[in-house]
Amino acid sequence: MVKEILVDVDFKDTRVAIVEDNELSEIYFERENEQQVVGNIYKGIVADVLPGMQAAFVNVGLEKNVFLHVSDALALVSEEKRKNKLSIQEVVQPGQKIMVQITKEPLGSKGARVTCDLNLPGRYLVLMITMDHIGISRRITDDQERNRLKGITQEIKPEDKGLIVRTAAANKSGADLKRDFNFLIKLWEKIIHHYHNRQAPDLLHSDLNLVSRIVRDKFTKEVDRMLINDRKEFEETMELLDFISPNLKSKVQLYNRSKPIFEYYDLETAIDKTLKRKVWLDCGGYIIFDVTEALTAVDVNTGKYVGSTDLADTVLKTNKEAAKEIAKQLKLRDIGGIIIIDFIDMDNKQDQQEVLETLDEALQKDKTKTTILGLTELGLVEMTRKKEKEGVEEFLQKSCPYCEGSGRVLSEDTVALRAIRKLRNLFANRDDEEAVLLEVHPQVAARLIGLGGNSLKELEAELDRHIYVKGSKKLHIEEIDIVETGSKETIAELASPVEVGERKVLEIEETHVTNKQDGISRIEGFIIDVIEGGHLVGEQVEVEITEVYRTYAKAKVVRKV
């Protein structure tokens, strides 16, 4: 497998893509005004203590106070006290100054989450400030290597602190690990100095920028190449590698083609696909992802796949392929929290187990902690994936201001009926106006006017008014605008977008419903019946307006454009 890291540094943001065999595997973003705060260490002031939640809110200087649960605050009390079950009031008090580290980014309406169990990640080691423990990455599987690394860390570990050996430490020398450890100890001493000499709330330590974090956490010997499109970032990366992994410098290259780096490697299209609900499978089936604030629902469908044998075999093959793709998409989209998967129904228990095993195996490639909880009575797979920051969808998109995140808007018929009720209410107690101009979306206008204008005639007869309906694509489909009321002559002049003798360049959109020889075009939803224009559908023509009526106009073709 060929693995590459591609870095796109722009004026306002930085993007990093991890590509495996020319396919996007992971994508990371950082914007100038929205830098990540996970890993940052602050001197904060306890603002509120909430016994009902067994938590406290701490002011660290961010827009929202951060959330500290009692289980994350126990480092503030002695080991002896920790043996008893403590309430939040026994651990912190309002006004108390404490040191905290952010573990989860602010998400939606929620503030960041913090802990008092501090840790500092290096290239090969993670220094645990409040925990006396040695841990070795589970991805280092060779027992001899694990024992060697454990021996090195036992020699350098302080009595009151802990160390975790990272995957990148495999086969590294004791000198490499000791150099990393010394750097982390000096960094901690610097943070302690800031804590004792600064006023709360204040930032004591911020984690590295995106590219440097990727170099520290993701750039290993398994990566074949790192390509950076910015000279300054390239030089800073080389300086960082001088310190942490000089042997990897030869794999870093400066991208200097004229075509943007993500365009050249076709990553823009791949990123756009991560925002789509539907993901097609090679077999013809498809998966639907619906992300909500509470959970993510994943639905598997056979789609165009009909199989070559029996139904059970078709379902099993689709579900197994879907399981692999779901694992890939969860990692790529960085979806976290509760995840519910609705695989296609399987009656055979062995088939169910086979699909679960396929999913579990595929998830092993994801370094983010995931847990499969099993099948519910309804046959749904429950699982969780650790959520530390915004996913791709949350970072790149926002809730629709029209549907407010529901994903649905009112239908044309519903809006048309609302418009009728609005007109009834308008004229309920008014006799002084004989006409009204109503502006709505063209699709709603079509419903109000009806075939041949019949619906509009019925409404006019009911209200005893002249009603002019104007369609505007500028309006949202739910918007209803009563533009003007007044005399018939005044409103008629306002309503019509064309005059007799006027020339317009239009596109023939379709043929006339009843007279196929004529073509239909529209100006702001106003219908133009182009005589003998039915054969010109899809073409641009210049027409001359010959007749103007209340709901449409007639025109003749002058020339093709």
CATH number of the domain encompassing residue 518: 2.40.50.140
Domain around 20: 3-35+221-268
Residues 195 and 48 in one domain: yes
Single out the residue of 465, 453, 477 nearest to residue 550, CA to CA.
453
For residue 15, give the H/E element and its range: strand 13-20
Is residue 367 a part of any domain in this protein?
A: yes
Is residue 210 a part of any domain in this protein?
A: no
Q: Phi and psi (nearest 5°) for 67?
A: -100, 125
Residues 82 and 196 in one domain: yes
Residues of the chain predicted below pLDDT 50: none
Tell me how far CA of residue 161 lies from CA of 72, 82, 164, 199, in angstroms.
17, 17, 11, 26
Q: Tokens 């089936």 — which residue?
A: 285
Residues 9 and 70 in one domain: no
Is residue 138 a part of any domain in this protein?
A: yes
Written as one string, the DSSP assignment of 479-528 is: -EEEEEEE-HHHHHHHH-S--TT-EEEEE--EE-SS-TTSEEEEETTEEE
The answer to whether 303 touches 284, Cβ cutoff 8 Å, is yes
d(CA 547, CA 498): 10
Residues 480 and 431 in one domain: yes
Single out the residue of 172, 30, 48, 51 nearest to residue 105, CA to CA.
30
For residue 120, give the H/E element and its range: strand 119-121
d(CA 240, CA 29): 20
Q: Tell me the CATH number at 232.
A: 3.30.420.60
Residues 149 and 15 in one domain: no
Tell me how far CA of residue 1 lies from CA of 4, 22, 214, 360, in angstroms.
10, 10, 19, 21
Is residue 215 a part of any domain in this protein?
A: no
Residues 459 and 514 in one domain: no
pLDDT value at residue 517: 93
Q: Tell me the CATH number at 339.
A: 3.40.630
Residues 530 and 513 in one domain: yes
Is residue 116 a part of any domain in this protein?
A: yes
Residues 288 and 426 in one domain: no
Number of domains in the chain: 5
Considering the entire predicted model, what is its pTM? Answer: 0.75
Single out the residue of 108, 113, 107, 110 nearest to residue 60, CA to CA.
113
Neighbours of 450 (CB within 10 A): 15
Is residue 532 a part of any domain in this protein?
A: yes
Tell me how far CA of residue 275 lies from CA of 268, 282, 333, 379, 398, in angstroms.
12, 19, 8, 27, 12
Is residue 464 a part of any domain in this protein?
A: yes
Residues 323 and 257 in one domain: no
d(CA 388, CA 385): 10
Longest dimension (CA), the chain: 96
Q: Which tokens in the block code for residue 265?
A: 């490697």
Residues 305 and 226 in one domain: no
Is residue 214 a part of any domain in this protein?
A: no
Q: Tell me the CATH number at 456.
A: 3.40.1260.20
Residues 246 and 308 in one domain: no
Beta bridge partners of 437: 468, 484
The answer to whether 94 touches 48, Cβ cutoff 8 Å, is yes
Residues 69 and 177 in one domain: yes
